[in-house]
């Protein structure tokens, strides 16, 4: 056992009080990036990624035509695009679809796969194209 003596008044025990909850601050509205038709690949990279991430979130591993149609609907020029095939020579679905847009001598390249979307900016190849190999 432990016993002790204390001089003076005992310490008051704190009491719990209720207070009104703080007013939540409004969530800031995030504006989507803008397409810059006369801009460089670097100026449009953020928009390219935004468009593709939104599409991938809604459609997952889509087919190449749908990906390209979405980019056209977003303002990119179809004639400046390349896309890989949806199936292999044995008619097996591919693991990834790669697509690109040429803009002012540079490339915006995207890839849809089971892991999601990945995009990058790259220089134009010596062939004047963005992707290596056969595309459709």
pLDDT in tens, 6-27: 565 656 665 665 555 566 666 6
Q: Do the domain assignments include residue 109?
A: yes
Closest C-alpha among 78, 116, 79, 80 to residue 97: 116
Q: Do the domain assignments include residue 12?
A: no
In this predicted structure, what is the pLDDT of residue 44? 98
Q: Do the domain assignments include residue 128?
A: no
Q: Do the domain assignments include residue 135?
A: no
Closest C-alpha among 84, 126, 85 to residue 109: 84
In this predicted structure, what is the pLDDT of residue 104? 96
Q: Judge whether 79 and 128 are in contact, CB under 8 Å.
A: no
Threshold 0.85, pTM exceeds: no
> What's the domain range around 53?
41-123
Q: Do the domain assignments include residue 7?
A: no
Q: Do the domain assignments include residue 81?
A: yes
- Count of structural domains, the chain: 1
Q: Do the domain assignments include residue 112?
A: yes
Q: Do the domain assignments include residue 131?
A: no
Which band of pLDDT confidence, cut at 50, 70 and 90, is reported for residue 55? very high
């Amino acid at each position: 056992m432990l016993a002790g003596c204390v001089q003076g008044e005992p310490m008051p025990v704190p009491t719990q009080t209720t207070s009104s909850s703080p007013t939540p601050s409004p969530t800031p509205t995030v504006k989507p990036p803008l397409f810059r038709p006369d801009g460089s690949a670097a100026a449009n990279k953020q928009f390219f990624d935004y468009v593709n991430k939104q599409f991938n979130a809604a459609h997952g591993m889509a087919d190449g035509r749908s990906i390209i149609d979405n980019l056209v609907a977003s303002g990119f020029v179809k004639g400046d695009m390349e896309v890989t095939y949806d199936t292999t020579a044995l008619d097996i679905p591919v693991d990834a679809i790669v697509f690109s847009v040429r803009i002012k001598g540079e490339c915006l390249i995207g890839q849809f796969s089971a892991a999601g979307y990945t995009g990058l900016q790259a220089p134009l190849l010596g062939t004047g194209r963005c992707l290596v190999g056969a595309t459709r």
